Chain A
Amino acid sequence: GAVVSQHPSRVICKSGTSVKIECRSLDFQATTMFWYRQFPKQSLMLMATSNEGSKATYEQGVEKDKFLINHASLTLSTLTVTSAHPEDSSFYICSAHSGGSSTDTQYFGPGTRLTVL
């Protein structure tokens, strides 16, 4: 299957700082990328949908000014957690869709474990 990378895999930061997470599709062009977060023992919750060259669409309850998403190219999307607080500590996972109506399969990155002290 297609490969999606995420960087960093783990980050620890102080409260009030900003953290940027990168998501790259390595062997295909991703017209759409998705950002999810997962709390311990819970399922993945969609945060936002990111289309290349346009503004991200955020799910209800997700603050767009806090979770900045940039999808500057067909292979890269970034999520910046601004002014992070301990409650933002979570597992953040991106996924990429190659486009086209023939498949709904998304390929997931390995995730980023964010810990805010």
Chain B
Amino acid sequence: EDKVVQSPLSLVVHEGDTVTLNCSYEVTNFRSLLWYKQEKKAPTFLFMLTSSGIEKKSGRLSSILDKKELFSILNITATQTGDSAIYLCALVNSNSGYALNFGKGTSLLVTP
């Protein structure tokens, strides 16, 4: 059975700090790994990763995948209160169409 494990489950930091969120996985047939940000409603897409070692970057957020060690990290630099959210990591198994298998998420709170 495929697994997606995120850590930490929750995190509190001060504005300006840098955070690293972790996602490790087990999958029979890896296709891609995606990161989403969920505030009060539905998740919004951040990154899709398919290849090892290639960093994806968007503003203060970046993410990278290690397919040998089976994990991905999401970095947020110079955090702001607006970054407070649940960050979800999801896996796509080639055998499951495009269905997303989500981890439990990391709840991030950025305090002023």
Q: Which residues of A contact B (CB under 8 A)?
A: 1, 6, 32, 34, 42-46, 49, 93, 95, 97, 103-111
Q: Are B48 and A103 touching (Cβ within 8 A)?
A: yes
Majority secondary structure of chain B interface residues (helix, strand, loop or mixed): strand
Query: Per-residue 0/1 for B40-82: is the Cβ within 8 Å of any A Cβ (1 yes, 0 no)?
Result: 0111110010000000000000000000000000000000000
Using known A-B contacts A32-B97, A32-B98, A43-B105, determine if residue A104 contacts B92 with beta carbons closer than 8 Å.
yes
Q: How far is the CB of B52 from chain A (nearest CB, A)?
A: 16
Cβ-neighbour of A107 out of B32, B45, B102, B105 (below 8 A): B45
Question: Knowing A43-B88, A44-B88 touch, does A105 contact B45 (C-beta < 8 A)?
Answer: yes
25 A-B pairs (CB sep. < 8 Å): A1-B45, A32-B97, A34-B99, A43-B88, A43-B103, A43-B104, A43-B105, A44-B43, A44-B88, A44-B100, A44-B102, A46-B99, A46-B101, A49-B97, A93-B43, A103-B48, A104-B48, A105-B45, A106-B98, A107-B45, A108-B43, A108-B44, A110-B42, A111-B41, A111-B42
Min CB gap A113→B, angstroms: 9
Q: B residues engaging A (CB < 8 A)? A: 31-32, 34, 36, 41-45, 48, 88, 92, 97-105
Other-chain residue from B31, B100, B105 in contact with A106 (beta carbon distance below 8 A):
B100
* Nearest-Cβ distance from residue B32 to partner chain A, whole angstroms: 4
With CB as the reference atom, state the residue of chain A lying closest to B9: A41
**What is the chain B residue whose CB lies nearest that of A97?**
B98
Alpha-carbon separation in the docked complex, A110 to B105 (Å): 18
CB pair A105 B42 closer than 8 Å:
no
Chain A's nearest CB lies how many Å from the CB of B107?
A: 8
